[in-house]
Amino acid sequence: MGWFSSIKPYKGQDYDKLKKEAKTKGHLFIDTEFPPDDRSLFYSQGKMANVVWKRPKQICDSPKFFVEGASAGDVKQGRLGNCWFVAASSCLAIHKDIWHKVIPDVSEQEWDESKPDDYQGIFHFRFWRYGEWIDVVIDDFLPTVNDDLIFIHSQSKNEFWSALLEKAYAKLFGCYEALDGGELVEALEDFTGGVGEVIDMVKENYSNDAELKAALFTRMQKEVDRKTLMAASIPAESSEEMEAKTDSGLVKGHAYGITAVKNVPLEGSGLFSFFNREKIHMIRLRNPWGEGEWKGAFSDGSKEWEKISQSDREKIGLTFEEDGEFWMTFDDYCKHFVQTAICRVVNTSMFSLSKTWYEGLSHGAWKKPDRAGGCINNLQTFTNNPQFMLDITDSEDEPLFHLMQKTTRATGTGETNNTIGFTIFKVEDNRRYRVHDITRQEKVVSSVFRNSRSIFLKTQLKKGRYVVIVCTFDPNIEENYLFRAYTSDSNNFKELTLDKPSRSLLCCCCIGAPKMVTQVKVLKAEGLARQDVSGADPYCVISCEGEKVRTRTVEDTTNPEWNDTALFFRRKPLKKPIKIQIWNHNILKDQYLGRHVFVSADECKDKIMAVDLVGKGRNMEKMPGKLYVQITQSKNFNSI
């Protein structure tokens, strides 16, 4: 899904049309959908004293959309408890290619003093909402007290892009109050259409696990290079802790934008040459308040900076101003911060030089009575949930999964997010219908279950077919969702909606209805004939009633383990047997290693069997090796 392949005007308001209408009528635009009064401030009965809505021209003499471009320092938090949005806006300012898309037509929206008649008091911004890009139009009235902006503002009093961006975002959610309290990753996703992840560094013990810590540093370095948006926070555990400063100068219940992750060389002491200096892992963060910084090692002006050469300080852009931006060691970062939010801007363009992902995307809903089964704890109803199939076509891949519930932020109804998550199963290589019994499938991994707007999982999967079951934690919860999956190669992503072959399909084929469903699991083989110096590269072909399924190739062994399965809906189970052949993969021509034909129903009793191998055709001589298979069959199509 590319940037802005389809842009939907919010509330049907067309920016160009409204701007033209305002110019024709000779007055500045007033947004009746988000009026400059208390209705746009609150959804509750709250009221803020002495608030006056003013246009930028009424606040300063020479207003500008941008003053010398956008920077993280342009975004300072006001009286609203939306540091999560402020930190995300700071991240946005760092990535020019992203903010140019969120804030389109920058030169056109800028005040032009030489053409005062071109200004119509109208702006527009773009946000990603559940798979769609939304264009939000606003007027330029902003809430003030004593001529000062009361919410987000820039360090330059005549710069207004951040305040106007916040107003557009507030309009998208109903009012400014709806932005009071939230998750940082939400805003990052809405700025990018990316997939957001929250890492709990305390729960996963990053501070005390050197290996985990090193892997996270390397990962965050790569994410910076990929223009990933990142931020950190220390969640407050009570209302009393909100915005409380720790002894180290960090603030609880507050979000900090991550602006750099670097290896910084230390000054040599004779032990290290110029080309082989010791380096220290460091990270740079920004407080959205624009003031209040880290007080520990490598804080502004601390003696630790004497260990870094002047030239290296200049390279990393070190300043000691009270601007809210500061450096700290990565060790201290993992020790003092609790959560790291990472939002990847996933590239799906085939024409890009950077890594390209293949996307699977589906909008859906948990609905009673048959699509709201709850989590896997509810074993009897779990498979009633929506199910999605995808293939991993590489030998191994590291796909991304992202589940988002389509709830709105608080609107005075008291609604909260549902607890959601998903579980991934390795299934039969030819499965085309819904899973009914998860005990017969290999559970690979479950995501965390959390009452967040979205759940992210990055995991490693081997070649094969998988089914993802998305769910709420409790059964009988109804909610809309968006589910996305990203793989390195094409994945045949689709929702599984049918429980079994449809009646219409059977009638069209005129070949009779299936009488039995059979699951064949090829576990392993032992003692196969050696084909070269090191062994063989064996794979299996499972055949039944004209359908063939090939397992993975296991390299360089005569004792392969496959654990691959196939599923067959059989019309003539008594006349058409199941055949399993083993072949050795070769560049020029594959070599036959043996087969076994399962004729008798007695061989298919859901138990692991070790069977002999014979030659092909009429040649029934015994071949080296044993094949281990488990076959399950039933006349009930909803049993597997």
Q: What is the pLDDT of residue 286?
A: 84
CATH number at residue 394: 2.60.120.380
> Given the structure tokens 């939400």, which residue do they identify?
186
Residues 55/121, Cβ–Cβ less than 8 Å: yes
Task: Please determine, for residue 603, whether its predicted confidence score (pLDDT) is greater than 80.
Answer: no
Res. 322: pLDDT tops 80:
no
Tell whether 525 and 629 lie within a shared domain: yes
596, β-bridge pairs: 580
Extract the tokens encoding 379: 């074993």
CA distances from 371 to 4, 147, 305, 387, 536 (A): 32, 53, 59, 9, 46
608 with 630, same domain: the answer is yes
83 a catalytic residue: yes
Asked whether the predicted pLDDT for residue 72 surpasses 60, the reply is no
352 lies in a domain? no
Looking at the structure, do residues 569 and 628 belong to the same domain, yes or no? Answer: yes
Q: Which of 254, 281, 402, 596 is catalytic?
A: 254
Q: With 60 as the cut, is the pLDDT of residue 411 above it?
A: no
> Which of 632, 582, 576, 626 minimizes the C-alpha distance to 606?
632
Residues 6+ apart with CB under 8 A from 501: 433, 514, 569, 637
CB neighbours of 286 closer than 8 A, spacing ≥ 6?
72, 73, 87, 90, 256, 257, 259, 324, 325, 326
Residue 365 sits in the same domain as residue 476: yes
Domain identity same for 166 and 244: no
In a domain, 351, yes or no: no
Pairing of the two strands 622-634 and 608-614: antiparallel
The answer to the question of residue 427 being in a domain is yes
Q: Per mean pLDDT, which range of 23-37, 60-74, 328-342 is the poorest?
A: 60-74
Distances (CA, A) of 527 to 60, 520, 535, 614: 85, 21, 10, 14
Residue 144 and residue 18 share a domain: yes
Nearest to 197 by CA among 467, 347, 487, 403: 403
Three-state SS at 12: helix
Block residue for tokens 């009930």: 636
- Domain termination residue (choose one: 496, 531, 547): 496
Distance CA 332, CA 495 (A): 45
Q: Of 126, 159, 192, which residue is a domain's last?
A: 192
Peptide bond before residue 573 is cis, with ω within 30 degrees of 0 = no
SS (H, E, C) 326-339: EEEEHHHHHHHCCE
Which range of residues forms the domain containing residue 458?
Answer: 358-496
Return the minimum-mean-pLDDT range out of 86-90, 359-363, 478-482, 520-524. Answer: 86-90
Tell me if residue 438 falls in helix, strand or coil.
Answer: helix
**AA letter at 597:** V
pLDDT the model gives residue 456? 94
Selection from 515, 584, 576 nearest residue 547 by Cα: 576
For residue 2, pLDDT over 70 is answered with no
Quick count: other Cβ atoms within 10 Å of Cβ 20?
Answer: 12
Average pLDDT over residues 523-551: 92
Q: Does any domain span residue 611?
A: yes
- pTM for the whole structure: 0.86
520 and 612 co-located in one domain: yes
Among 159, 192, 225, give the residue marking a domain's end. Answer: 192
Return the CATH number at 529: 2.60.40.150
Give the HSE-up count for residue 234: Cα atoms under 13 Å, Cβ half-sphere: 17
Strand runs labelled E in 488-598? 494-496, 516-526, 538-544, 547-550, 561-570, 578-584, 591-598
pLDDT digits (tens, 9 = 90+) for 560-602: 999 999 999 999 988 899 999 999 999 889 999 999 999 876 6
The reply to whether 124 falls in a domain is yes
- Tell me how many domains the chain contains: 4
Query: What pLDDT score was predicted for residue 350?
Result: 60
Residue 109 covered by a domain: yes
Active site residue 254: yes
Mean pLDDT of 528-545: 90
Q: Report the distance separating Cα 364 and Cα 103, nearest Å.
A: 30
Q: How far is CA 399 from the centre of its chain?
A: 10
Q: If you average pLDDT over every residue of the chain, what do you get?
A: 87
Largest CA distance in the chain: 97
Asked if residue 373 and residue 417 are part of one domain, the reply reads yes
Task: Give me the pLDDT at residue 266, please.
Answer: 80
List all residues 6 or more positions away from 66 whose beta carbon is below 8 Å from its beta carbon.
106, 110, 159, 161
Residue 564 confidence (pLDDT): 95
What is the reported pLDDT for 272? 43
Q: Within this chain, do residues 391 and 532 fall inside the same structural domain, yes or no?
A: no
- The answer to the question of residue 383 being in a domain is yes
Say which CATH number the domain at 252 has.
Answer: 3.90.70.10
Q: Judge whether residue 504 has pLDDT over 80.
A: no
- φ, ψ for residue 189 (rounded to 5)? -65, -40
- To the nearest whole percent, how much of the chain has pLDDT over 90? 57
Q: Averaged over 148-175, what is the pLDDT?
A: 91
Average confidence (pLDDT) over 25-31: 94
In which band, very low, low, confident or very high, does the pLDDT at 270 lie, cut at 50, 70 and 90?
A: very low
Strands 479-487 and 400-405: antiparallel
Residue 68 identity? E
Question: What pLDDT is stored for residue 239 in this prediction?
Answer: 61
Higher-pLDDT residue of 353 and 528 is 528
* Active-site hit among 82, 287, 418, 491: 287
Q: Is the pLDDT of residue 413 over 60?
A: no
Burial (CB count within 10 angstroms: exposed 0-12, middle 13-18, buried 19+), residue 495: middle
Q: Are residues 282 and 339 in the same domain?
A: yes
Buried b (16+ CB within 10 A) or exposed e, 592-607: ebbbbebeeeebbeee
| pLDDT bracket for residue 517 (50, 70, 90) | very high
Residues 446 and 577 in one domain: no
| Residue range 434-458, pLDDT digits in tens | 999 999 999 999 999 999 899 999 9
The band of 544, judged by pLDDT with boundaries at 50, 70 and 90, is very high
Give the pLDDT confidence of 210-267 residue by residue, as tens digits.
Answer: 999 999 999 999 888 877 888 898 887 766 666 678 888 888 877 788 888 998 888 6
Q: Are residues 467 and 525 in the same domain?
A: no
Angle formed at CA 146 by CA 144 and CA 150, multiple of 5 degrees: 35
Kindly state whether residue 601 falls inside one of the protein's structural domains. Answer: yes
Mean pLDDT of 63-79: 76
